[in-house]
Amino acid sequence: MTSNNNSIQFHDYQPKLAQLGEAVIHGLSQHPRSIPPKFFYDQTGSEIFDDICETDEYYVARTEIGILENHRKDIAKHVGTGCLLIEPGSGNSQKVRILLDALRPHAYLPMDISRDYLQFAAQQLANDYPWLEIHAACIDYSVPIDLPFAPVGTRKVAFFPGSSIGNFERGQAKIFLRNIANMVEPGGGLLIGVDLKKDPSLLHAAYNDADGNTAAFNLNLLTRVNRELGSNFDLDGFSHHAFYNEEHGRVEMHLVCEKSQYINIHSKQFHFSVGESIHTENSYKYHIDDFQELAQQAGFRPIKVWSDEDHLFSVHYLEAEHENN
């Protein structure tokens, strides 16, 4: 479905509600229990994520923004002008603003699972950049993406900031990167933000901010499930738990049950005992070399990497290889 909202084209491939039901029932039937992190992002989830980015503890957003600002010219030199700029998981589309004037893309394709938020962010961008052609698509990027707009002969570059790559297990990350390489085609590029391994106390603070934004973000998942699937999670009976798992090199987020309860979802019933958890997110942290090796295995050639002076975060420019290279 395509609609033209003045200066933006909107392409709606929003996943059906049935997908949420199937994923939640499947995830809660596993041991340990889990729900995929993409379901955090309803309108409220997207708004709380923006609040997290403003907290003192969440170094991720401001460090990546600093890198993009400090190296904007060099980034533009490598990415080039006139590309089709595709941003999976574009959220509020704030970071791309740092690059737009330097890159002067042929068109910008923000893509997000959070439909209304995407539409709002795309419209804000259209208001502020009247010269920019925008094709916004509500789409799930965890499966291969069929581009709704791809002018022949225009080089494609994907932009994937926020270290969202860290939400995938290593094998899944490789599949995702390979899908992106196929999408941008040989000679196309990927500009990607990747969070680095660091002192676990910084990580602990970042995912447990003092004002409770991350806790609210995590718990909002159950509010959403209650609202959209008619379930009966008692939110006062669950608490946010986030910690760095050294062995796996990832921050884990969980919702831990503190009050024994029975949860009904559609025709299924799940019993939660005190101490049982729902694993809601992983955020894998990388060493630079380690990430470049993964990117190479997925069909990309590392071209350049930028970092901050404390080596908290990295931004990589990768080019999709021609097969057999």
Ligand X SMILES: C[S@@+](CC[C@H](N)C(=O)[O-])C[C@H]1O[C@@H](n2cnc3c(N)ncnc32)[C@H](O)[C@@H]1O
Q: Which of 105, 110, 162, 166 binds ligand X (CB under 6 A)?
A: 162
Least distance in Å: CB of 263 to ligand X? 24
Those residues whose C-beta lies under 8 Å from the C-beta of residue 68, and which sit 6 or more positions away, are: 75, 95, 98, 99, 161, 315
Does 46 help bind ligand X (rule: CB under 6 A)? yes
Does 282 help bind ligand X (rule: CB under 6 A)? no
Contact assessment for residue 93 and residue 87, using Cβ atoms and an 8 Å cutoff: yes
From CA 208, how far away is CA 61, in angstroms rounded? Answer: 15
Q: Which stretch binds ligand X (CB under 6 A): 66-74, 77-85, 87-95, 290-298?
A: 87-95
**Residue 160 or 272 with smaller CB distance to ligand X:** 160
Does 313 help bind ligand X (rule: CB under 6 A)? no
Q: How many other C-beta atoms are found inside a 10 Å radius of the C-beta of residue 180?
A: 28
Binders of ligand X among residues 129 to 158 (CB under 6 A) are 140-142
**Residue 113 or 315 with smaller CB distance to ligand X:** 113
From CA 293, how far away is CA 312, in angstroms rounded? Answer: 19
Residue 29 burial by Cβ neighbours in a 10 Å radius (0-12, 13-18, 19+): exposed
**Residue 98 or 298 with smaller CB distance to ligand X:** 98
- Letters for 92-131 (x = contact with ligand X by CB under 6 A, - = none) are ---x----------------xxx-----------------
Contact assessment for residue 93 and residue 125, using Cβ atoms and an 8 Å cutoff: yes
From CA 171, how far away is CA 187, in angstroms rounded? Answer: 24
**Residue 108 or 141 with smaller CB distance to ligand X:** 141
Number of residues lying near ligand X (CB under 6 A): 17
Does 90 help bind ligand X (rule: CB under 6 A)? yes
Does 166 help bind ligand X (rule: CB under 6 A)? no
**Residue 114 or 270 with smaller CB distance to ligand X:** 114
- Letters for 232-261 (x = contact with ligand X by CB under 6 A, - = none) are ------------------------------
Q: Which of 10, 28, 33, 38 binds ligand X (CB under 6 A)?
A: 38
Does 89 help bind ligand X (rule: CB under 6 A)? yes
Does 314 help bind ligand X (rule: CB under 6 A)? no
Q: How many other C-beta atoms are found inside a 10 Å radius of the C-beta of residue 298?
A: 21
Torsion of CA 50, 54, 59, 63, to 10 degrees: 80
Does 164 help bind ligand X (rule: CB under 6 A)? yes
Does 49 help bind ligand X (rule: CB under 6 A)? yes
**Residue 143 or 274 with smaller CB distance to ligand X:** 143
- Taken in order 61, 62, 67, 68, is the CA torsion positive or negative? positive
Q: How far apart are the first and last CA of the chain?
A: 38
Does 91 help bind ligand X (rule: CB under 6 A)? yes
Those residues whose C-beta lies under 8 Å from the C-beta of residue 225, and which sit 6 or more positions away, are: 20, 24, 35, 39, 231, 233, 265
Binding site for ligand X (CB under 6 A): 38, 41, 46, 49, 89-91, 95, 112-114, 140-142, 161-162, 164
